[in-house]
Amino acid sequence: MRTYKRKTEKGKTPPDIIQRAVRTVLNEDRYVVKAKSQNENSVEINLERVGYFNGQTVFSEEQKTVLADYLKRACDIYYGLTPKELRKFAYQYATANNLQVPGSWTKNKIAGADWYTAFIKRNNTLSLKTP
């Protein structure tokens, strides 16, 4: 989410407990689920560091670069793009490359607003029109 503010303290596991669970998984060849139940806390925060969890990404780094370059050229040709046009380009690029996309992308035939926000933060040199 773009602007999520936590409302409760639930799920804030101390780092030492998470590290202990990660060490248990790495050193004792335990499954993550067993380590989770043994420590009674979520270790999902550190699973990426361990190598079990890779967040859902649509594009690889190379594809993101190619898409950004293409969109920069499109901005020059069309005197800027609207955010909606940029999101449509991203969806079309993903489907043209047969990439796995979230269900909301397929349903709406457009990339998500959260994806757009993150993409613009990484590529702030794109000239976009305000709708």
Q: Tokens 């998500």 identify what position?
A: 112
Domain final residue pick, 53, 72, 88: 53
Q: Single out the residue of 78, 77, 74, 55 nearest to residue 123, CA to CA.
A: 74
Q: Are 21 and 1 in contact (CB under 8 A)?
A: no
Range of the domain at 48: 1-53
Question: Can you give the pTM of this predicted structure?
Answer: 0.59
- State mean pLDDT over 19-29: 76
Residue 55: per-residue pLDDT: 62
In a domain, 128, yes or no: no
| pLDDT higher at 50 or 84 | 84
Of 19-28, 38-47, 109-118, the poorest mean pLDDT is in: 38-47
Please tell me the predicted confidence (pLDDT) of residue 63: 92
Please report the pLDDT score of residue 108 as a whole number: 93
In angstroms, the Cα distances linking 97 to 36, 50, 90, 111 are 37, 30, 11, 14
Sign of torsion over alpha carbons 120, 121, 127, 131? positive
In a domain, 117, yes or no: yes
Lowest mean pLDDT among 51-55, 84-88, 99-103, 107-111: 51-55
pLDDT surpasses 50 at 105: yes
